[in-house]
Structure 1
Amino acid sequence: MAEKPPRNSAIGPNGTTRTIREPVARRVWVAAGGRCTFCNRWLLDEEHTGEPVFIGQLAHIVGWDTTKGSPRGSDSMDVHDRNEADNLILICYDQHRVIDSKSLWDVYSADRLRDFKRQHEHRIKKLTELAHRDSTTVLRLVGTIHGSPVQLSQSAVNEALVSVGQHPSYALIGTDEYEIDLRKLPGEKEDAPFHWNAAVEYIRDRLRRLGALVADGTVVNIAIFPLARIPILIALGALLDDTVPAVVYPKRRGGKEAWGWPAGGRDQGFEWSVLDSGSDAPKQATVLFSVSGSIEKDRIPAEATDVARIYEIRPAGATPNFDLVDTPASVDLFSRCWRAVIADIETFPDVTAVNVIAAVPTTVAVAIGRSVNASVHASVRVYDRVEHHANYTFTLELPR
């Protein structure tokens, strides 16, 4: 089918049309990026057949005349200005029927439609002005948290990256909706050993493709959006290649799905201490990470405390809480503290296992894994809790 030129006619609620000057119509189509101002639907192809048919419509914010049946037509805007670009929005036919429905004229007021138009066109402009050098490869990891599958939308990822001047690239995406999707792996709620082992191997397999793209120069920056149990996040950090700059984005607390660091965050430092020195030649070390909450020692199994040197990492001058780590610098300060603990552990040559028990946010969990050199350090064993009031149990050993 031959491609038709962009439609330059506006359609009224009763199906009548009015011709819009070609330069005006072109300006509205370009400013909207060929997408519906409301639902972001691509309007240059028929969605079922893929044929190049223009399915978008130019809609008037203020109706084109002042008659009683003209949507928002009673507005004070001069009639001669109503067919100009500032009063036209690009929209799909479904949404056009909605905003022009008489029962919804108060809901979709002229001011509200102007706001939709302004936001949509601003977003399109910001996305398209990003250069290739500002591209960053998205790595999303989603899992199941205590039996409940989590969601991580592409739109939330895009919004977080565009807000910091980065263009999201989905070079890792394949046939799956997400790059690393662990939600279908069984056994998470029961802490079954096979679940954790399968998760680690699945992450390892998915990261092999990342390694190949790094090697050929396709990937130069990585933006990580993780949402899973703490042991999974620590394992992800251990498996990531340190040769590529990677930034971990936190999920903001609250009802709306939003990612990224909040404005006006405060850098938080950390300190470590030895809670129990153990024997003169301890066989294992146990590290408590009390960041988003305090680790209760009586919930730690004896296997992780017997003949063990026990450490704790806590925020300096602050009580552990969920909102404590709200800047990238805070994560860096945590990593330095954790590496200092690792250095102390290495002074005890008989230590063959390091037990990790962590109450931390996602960004810190990944940082725990990234600070460990599994090929050099002692075996790192990660514990977690099945239910809120349960004791900590062993989940996985960090891959070497």
Structure 2
Amino acid sequence: MTNKAPLNSAIGPNNTTRSIRDRVSRRVWVAAGGRCTFCNRWLLDDEITGQPVFIGQLAHIVGWDTTEGSPRGSDPMSVDCRNEADNLMLICYDQHRVIDSKSLWDVYTADRLREFKRQHEHRIKMLTALAHQDSTTVLRLVDTIHGSPVQLAQSAVNEALVSVGQYPSYALLGTDEYEIDLRKLPGEKEGTSLHWIAAVECIRDRLGRLGALVADRTVVSIAVFPLARIPILIALGAMLDDTVPTVVYPKRRGGKETWGWPDVGTDQDFEWNVLDSGSGAPTQATVLFSISGSIGRERIPAETNVGARVYEISPADATPNFDLVDTATSVDLFSRCWRAVIADIETFPGVDAVNVIAAVPTTIAVAIGRSVNASVHPPVRIYDRVDHEASYSFALELPR
């Protein structure tokens, strides 16, 4: 049964009501953003019929009188103060029954309810302070990884962006659940050329709208949340618009789906070395990215050694591992190192291909692609491991 009590009525035990001054009730409703302090439910429409009806209730933290049946009524708060905004919270009728149940008074103490109210109203105030200029356009890319389709909850994206003062815009969202969804493309687990080619074309097609939206200022910045194999992440980076400010968010390791950099991290620098200068003038360059793990020379395909100048990019003064890159500055330092390698390759005019063999985290994979200028640099060929095999095989060539 939907509650239809007026905005300025507080509901008590046994559905008794008490009139609250209009100024006070409006303050509570506005501060709560029209949502339940507990479950965040929207309280201005009926959830079944969609009819405009007030289904929220003004609930007392400390009961409105001191009688035995008044929830938390024995609190020392003055009775004259109990109908003021500081002692009222906006709540749905389901949650109201819970907090006023006598068996739960010890669980939902006055102090605990005050903390719920403070946190909820602070969140509403922070969110509604975000203006259009604080918006960033979300770009989520999902694929199957070794045969397992991935999921990326919108709530996790929203939480990551709001925590850094950004308002999420979904202007690039297509007709499905994500901006770029590659999960229905066949051949991912086997690493077939069909999958890589189809994935690149799908990304190109989905990013086709970006130019027009940038031109009319609908998109002013992009927040990228990618979950896919390394070759696809590198290809995504190569196809992102360099004229639009872009931030790539990492997925944190652990059970809960959380995105973004940890509160505390260590900036990691990188170095590059020439493992093999080749014989005579090199005709190709092969770059090993040993960052989340080490890549032994024995694991790379034989064709990438023929006439090749072989480089390795690795962490400076650290052992490659999955948790190495935990700050945005580390990604910038990596990009600087990678561009230095590219500059060295450019000093050898006979190099007509660059082979990339990478053991890297998501953010670094996208950064590899973003540093490549397809119109200037030789073709970049990406290799990847198939189904956890020890060696690498060719996956795709970056689009030009």
Tell whether the structures are fold-level matches, with TM greater than 0.5: yes
Superposed, 1:105-120 pairs within 5 Å as 105-120=105-120
Instruction: Tell whether the 8 Å contact from 1:235 to 1:399 is kept in structure 2 after alignment.
Output: yes
Distance 1:118 1:176, change over 3 A: farther
Check 1:199–1:73 CA distance in 2 against 1; reply closer, same or farther (3 A cut). farther
> Identity over the aligned pairs, expressed in percent?
83
Which residue of structure 1 aligns with residue 212 of structure 2?
A: 212
Q: Which residue of 2 aligns with 1:15?
A: 15
Matches within 5 A, 1:1-400: 7-388=7-388, 390-400=390-400
CA–CA distance in structure 2, aligned partners of residues 48 and 211 of structure 1? 40
Change (3 A) 1:114 1:189: farther
- CA root-mean-square deviation: 2.3
* Alpha carbons 1:283, 1:308 under 8 Å: kept: yes
In the alignment, residue 267 of structure 1 is paired with which amino acid?
Answer: D
Q: What letter corresponds to residue 165 of structure 2 in structure 1?
A: G
Query: 1:266-311: per-residue Cα shift (whole Å, max 9, x none)?
Result: 3222111111222323332211111122113222222333332211
Quickly say closer, same or farther: Cα 1:146–1:101, change in 2 above 3 A.
Answer: farther
Does the 8 Å CA contact 1:381/1:394 hold for their aligned counterparts?
yes
| Structure 2 residue identity aligned to 1:192 | T
**Deviation, structure 1 residue 365:** 1.0
CA distance in 2, matches of 1:291, 1:219: 33
The aligned amino acid for 2:360 is: V
1:144–1:228 CA contact under 8 A, matched in 2:
yes
CA contact (8 A) 1:238 1:372 kept: yes
2:15 alignment partner, SS class = coil
Residue 6 (structure 1) shift? 5.8
CA shift, 1:366, in A, is 0.8
Q: Could you tell me how far apart the structure 2 residues matched to 1:382 and 1:107 are?
A: 57
Residues 1:198 and 1:70: Cα distance change in structure 2 (over 3 Å): farther
- Does the C-alpha gap of structure 1 residues 68 and 136 become closer, same or farther in structure 2, counting only changes over 3 Å? same
Alpha-carbon distance in 2 for matches of 1:166, 1:339: 30
TM-superposed deviation, 1:7: 1.8
TM-score normalised to structure 1 length: 0.91
For 1:359, give the aligned amino acid. A
Change in 2 beyond 3 A, CA 1:220/1:100 = same
Cα offset for 1:157? 2.2
- Residue 356 of structure 1 contacts residue 383 of structure 1 at CA under 8 Å; is this kept in 2? yes
For normalisation by structure 2, the TM-score amounts to: 0.91
Secondary structure at 2:138 match in 1: strand
Structure 2 distance, partners of 1:127, 1:237, is 30
Q: Which sections of structure 1, spanning at least 5 residues, go unmatched?
A: none
String of CA shifts for 1:132-177, please: whole Å, max 9, x gaps: 2222222222222222333322232223222322222222224323
Go from structure 1 to structure 2 and tell me whether the alpha carbon gap of 1:336 and 1:68 turns closer, same or farther (over 3 Å shift): same
Query: In the TM superposition, what is the alpha-carbon distance from 1:246 to its structure 2 partner?
Result: 0.8
Distance 1:154 1:305 in 2: 44
CA contact (8 A) 1:6 1:26 kept: no
SS at match of 1:312: strand
Code of the aligned partner of 1:349: P
Deviates more, 1:355-364 or 1:256-265: 256-265
Q: Which amino acid aligns with 1:33?
A: G
> For 2:14, what is the secondary structure of its paired residue?
coil
Secondary structure of the residue aligned to 2:293 is coil
Distance 1:106 1:231 in 2: 55
User: Which 5+ residue runs of structure 2 have no aligned equivalent?
Assistant: none
